[in-house]
Amino acid sequence: MPINLTILGSGSAVPILGRGVTSQHLNINERRILIDCGEGTQLQLRRFKVKFQRIQYIFISHLHGDHFLGIFGLISSMSLLGRTNKLRIFGPDGLEEIVRHQFKLSQVYLSFDLEFTVVSCKEKELVFEDNSIEIYAFPLKHRVKCHGFLFQEKPRPPKMNKDKIKEYGLSLEEILTARRGEDVVREDGTILNAEVTHGIEKSASYAYCTDTRFVAKLPEWIEEASLLYHEATFTKAHTDRAKATGHSTAEDAANIAKLAKVDRLILGHFSSRYKDTKSILDEAKVAFDKVTCVEDGDVYLVN
Ligand SMILES: [Zn+2]
Ligand SMILES: [Zn+2]
């Protein structure tokens, strides 16, 4: 199943023409997930033809306006258009209070239920799982509490080699054992898994790391991710600004990608001081060459 990521907004701080503030839509095994929701996200969803009533989960990294101010308008439109399905929202402490207070004061009674889960962790932590995916949160280093997320497929059962099944005369019980990833042990003690399966496929994963200084533990938490989105608000020329505002340079982001041995890196959350992304991309390429700077509307295949 394809896992698609749509970039809805790739800028930072304030929306500008051609670059909205941060938001992304991830379709992973038919789970529709909105990641951050800056102002104007609902218009970007329409612009890039993502059906917003199908969103089941929203993950908010932190409570800076460029990452969550769009949530009120989006929820409001979902209700006006008659949504009945529950919406699950994961985010920092305080998010539920702000959202419910807003609708209470404006006497809006939503047509559907909101269910909030507070994300607050000091290490990598599982925050959601179902029969097909797992979602982890981990702490980032910003001016306010901020989390990154890892969206990952659960390991798939190994594919069986039909010819070898016949050759070794595997029983149904042994086939099921191998499919569960457990050892198929013969009477003489030999383990057959390597012979009778085509091996375990690597499960795809997407790591989302925004608004953060360099985090030394990050590579361990997102190791070998298929796709990494990392903010690169500044270039090295503005290291002082990056430090003062709790952000990364393109070099920081590329070093994280290299240390984590991810397959591909995409960069975003650019400061509007840069007219184009050339200097950011050139700087990142020194440490990690499978890198792209994102634009609003880009779609990436994660797997
Ligand atoms: Zn931001
Ligand atoms: Zn921020």
Q: pLDDT of 12-27, one tens digit each?
A: 988 888 899 999 999 9
Name the catalytic one among 66, 211, 252, 296. Answer: 66
Contact 201, 154 (CB under 8 A): no
Mean per-residue pLDDT, 209-213? 97
Contact 177, 132 (CB under 8 A): no
Instruction: Round the CA-based radius of gyration of the chain to a whole number and report it.
Output: 22
Mean per-residue pLDDT, 195-200? 82
pLDDT tens-digit map of 32-71: 999 999 999 999 999 999 999 999 999 999 999 999 999 9
| Structure confidence at residue 180 as a pLDDT band (50, 70, 90) | confident
Cα–ligand 1 centroid distance for 269 (angstroms): 7
Rounded Cα–Cα distance for residues 142 and 85 (Å):
34
pLDDT surpassing 80 at residue 281: yes
For residue 63, the ligand closest to its alpha carbon is: 2
Rounded Cα–Cα distance for residues 296 and 49 (Å):
12
Mean per-residue pLDDT, 240-269? 97
Percentage of residues of the chain with pLDDT beyond 90: 80
- Predicted confidence at residue 38, as pLDDT, reads 97
Name the residues around ion ligand 2, CB cutoff 5 A: 64, 211
pLDDT surpassing 80 at residue 224: yes
pLDDT tens-digit map of 113-132: 999 999 999 999 999 999 99
Among 97, 90, 89, 88, CA closest to 125:
90
Average predicted confidence (pLDDT) for the chain: 95
For residue 22, the ligand closest to its alpha carbon is: 1
- Predicted confidence at residue 202, as pLDDT, reads 83
**Higher per-residue pLDDT: 199 or 11:** 11
Cα–ligand 2 centroid distance for 200 (angstroms): 39
pTM of the model: 0.92
CATH classification (class only), 4-156+201-301: alpha beta
Strand bridging mode 114-118 / 87-91: parallel
- Predicted confidence at residue 171, as pLDDT, reads 87
- Predicted confidence at residue 229, as pLDDT, reads 98
Rounded Cα–Cα distance for residues 99 and 293 (Å):
32
pLDDT tens-digit map of 71-90: 999 999 999 999 999 999 99
Cα–ligand 2 centroid distance for 172 (angstroms): 54
Contact 161, 172 (CB under 8 A): no
Cα–ligand 2 centroid distance for 229 (angstroms): 15
pLDDT surpassing 80 at residue 200: no
- Predicted confidence at residue 165, as pLDDT, reads 87
pLDDT surpassing 80 at residue 199: no
Domain spans, the chain: 4-156+201-301, 162-196
Mean per-residue pLDDT, 271-289? 95
| Structure confidence at residue 187 as a pLDDT band (50, 70, 90) | confident
- Predicted confidence at residue 196, as pLDDT, reads 86
Whether 66 is a known active-site residue: answer yes
Contact 108, 79 (CB under 8 A): yes
Mean per-residue pLDDT, 141-147? 97
For residue 213, the ligand closest to its alpha carbon is: 2
- Predicted confidence at residue 185, as pLDDT, reads 87
